[in-house]
């Protein structure tokens, strides 16, 4: 007898959950991505105790039919990819079909969904389907995630204070609001509204809400392109700088990403205007043919690979340099200051 076992589905979901849902923020990110993919116009995010107690996300998107409402929780079940070639041409936030089964393997999940025909409620407890039945619910989808990591104490122990966990959630929701000004986001914590956008399509309005009117009102619009890439967004004036690099937000085809080289290109463009160890506030959208970017690098989907990265770095540097040069009202400071 050999020694190798095939892992059962629950166990493999729990393993996958380690990468996708490390903490409440990761769950919120995955669930909001699903709302965006479902063409929601409004997304409500209700958090209790930093998400350690409850995460509830309500959208007014497409909803699911009764069959999909349970299928959605099976591993690698997705409506977003059909064949191998789709993987090189992704136009949705999700594609791995992993988030819902992973989340449901480490929590208690209640889903209500209405696609205009079916209205279905599905309840799953630590990977076990408890019930699936018709219900009354408005058009769209509601997902509630409770009792996170209660059966995985080692993971539970890694959660920090509700305030800290909420700060990460708030940060990621702001990033969504900035990349999707056409969607109204409403974030609350322990019943208190923290942040609300109107979804009227104005990025400048969202910028003002997040960074304050004074900072955003002099924001410089970005406008750059070459044969492959198009850059838009806003660069704040250098005097509104920060002590951390977290405020250089970058999106590729609407997806929030982390990329050291592109971040460096932004910093280089600002370097003449900022003192040492101060960093700019930038919200930069980069549009490109989906085939130029590989988003299938890590389950959390923060990292990407570009086929023409150097070319994009150059365009980022030039676009921001140009914007700053044309608009600056503050004197340059020397690098050594
Ligand atoms: P993925 O997003 O990678 O496809 P998920 O596990 O996140 O995988 O979701 C599985 C499927 O469930 C999705 O492909 C989609 O069809 C459906 N789904 C999930 N969330 C929603 C939602 N909020 N509205 C409509 N459909 C949803
Ligand atoms: Mg998804």
SS3 271: coil
First to last CA, the chain: 70
State residue 331's pLDDT score. Answer: 52
- Spatial strand order in the sheet of 42-48: 128-134, 119-125, 108-114, 140-146, 54-59, 42-48, 184-189, 192-196
Two tokens at 34? 């699903």
Tell me: the pLDDT tens digits for 238-259? Answer: 999 999 999 999 999 999 999 9
Distance 156 CA to ligand 2 centre (A): 23
CA 226, CA 322: separation in Å to the nearest integer?
Answer: 14
Q: Could you tell me the sign of the dihedral formed by the alpha carbons of 217, 174, 198, 163, in that order?
A: negative
Contacts of 6 (CB under 8 A, 6+ apart): none
Residue nearest atom 20 of ligand 1, based on CA coordinates: 34
Closest CA to 34 of 67, 55, 54, 57: 57
Rounded CA separation 181/200 (Å): 7
Measured distance CA(270)–CA(235) in Å, rounded: 10
Q: Would you say 167 and 160 are in contact if contact means Cβ atoms under 8 Å apart?
A: no
In order of 101, 126, 290, the CA distances from 79 in angstroms are: 14, 23, 18
Interval 269-297: pLDDT, tens: 999 999 999 999 999 999 999 999 998 88
Please return the burial class of 29, using the count of CB atoms within 10 Å of its CB with bins 0-12, 13-18 and 19+.
buried
Residue 25 has which token pair? Answer: 């923020």
Other CB atoms within 10 A of residue 165 CB: 21
Predicted confidence at residue 329, as pLDDT, reads 54
Distance (Å) from CA 103 to ligand 1 centroid: 12
The single-letter DSSP state of residue 65 is -
Q: Atom 1, ligand 1: which residue's CA is nearest?
A: 97
pLDDT score recorded for residue 306 = 93
ipTM comes to 0.99
Predicted pLDDT of residue 337: 42
Cα 78 to ligand 1 centroid, rounded to whole Å:
6
φ/ψ of 48, rounded to 5, equals -115, 130
Q: How far is the CA of 333 from the centre of ligand 2 (A)?
A: 45
DSSP lists the bridge partners of residue 58 as 44, 142
pLDDT under 70: residue ranges of the chain: 17, 328-337
Return the ligand number nearest the Cα of 57. 1
Ligand 1 is surrounded, with C-beta below 6 A, by 30, 34-35, 38, 59, 61-64, 68, 72, 77-80, 94-100, 141
CA–CA separation, 125 and 130 (whole Å): 7
Q: What is the CATH number of domain 203-327?
A: 3.30.230.10
**Element of type H or E holding 104:** helix 99-105
Residue 324: C-alpha distances to residues 139, 220, 234, 332 (Å): 45, 7, 11, 11
Fold of 9-196: Heat Shock Protein 90 (3.30.565)
Which atom of ligand 1 lies closest to the CA of 81?
4
Tokens representing 330 are 């503050």
Domain locations in the chain as residue ranges: 9-196, 203-327
Q: Which residue has its alpha carbon closest to ligand 1 atom 2?
A: 94
Nearest by Cα to 26 from 190, 169, 148: 169
Query: How far, in Å, is the centroid of ligand 2 from the Cα of 99?
Result: 5
* Rounded Cα gap, residues 42 and 61, in angstroms: 8
Give the pTM: 0.93
- At 154, is the secondary structure helix, strand, or coil? helix
């Amino acid at each position: 007898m050999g020694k190798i076992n095939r892992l059962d589905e629950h166990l493999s979901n729990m393993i996958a959950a380690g990468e996708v849902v490390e903490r409440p923020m990761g769950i919120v990110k995955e669930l909001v991505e699903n709302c965006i993919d479902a063409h929601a116009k409004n997304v409500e995010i209700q958090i209790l105790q930093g998400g350690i107690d409850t995460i509830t996300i309500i959208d007014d998107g497409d909803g699911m039919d009764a069959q999909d409402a349970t299928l959605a929780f099976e591993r690698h079940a997705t409506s977003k990819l059909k064949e191998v070639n789709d993987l090189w041409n992704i136009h949705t936030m999700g594609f791995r079909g992993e988030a819902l089964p992973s989340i449901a393997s480490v929590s208690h999940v209640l889903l209500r969904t209405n696609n205009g025909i079916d209205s279905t409620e599905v309840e799953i407890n630590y990977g076990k389907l408890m019930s699936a039945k018709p219900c009354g619910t408005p058009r769209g989808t509601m997902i509630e995630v409770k009792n996170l990591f209660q059966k995985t104490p080692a993971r539970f122990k890694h959660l920090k204070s509700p305030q800290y966990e909420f700060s990460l959630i708030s940060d990621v929701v702001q990033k969504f609001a900035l990349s999707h000004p056409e969607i109204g986001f409403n974030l609350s914590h322990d019943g208190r509204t923290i942040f609300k956008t109107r979804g009227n399509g104005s990025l400048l309005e969202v910028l003002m809400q997040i960074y304050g009117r004074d900072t955003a009102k002099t924001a410089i619009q970005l406008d750059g392109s070459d044969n492959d890439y198009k850059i838009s967004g806003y660069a704040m004036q250098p005097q509104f700088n920060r002590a951390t690099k977290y405020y250089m937000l970058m999106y590729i085809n609407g997806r929030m990403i982390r990329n050291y080289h592109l971040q460096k290109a932004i910093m280089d463009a600002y370097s003449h205007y900022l003192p040492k160890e101060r960093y700019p506030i930038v919200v930069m959208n980069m549009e490109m043919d989906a085939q130029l970017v590989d988003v299938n690098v890590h389950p959390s989907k923060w990292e990407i690979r570009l086929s023409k990265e150097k070319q994009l770095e150059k365009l980022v540097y030039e676009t921001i340099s140009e914007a700053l040069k044309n608009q600056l009202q503050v004197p340059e400071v020397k690098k050594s200051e």
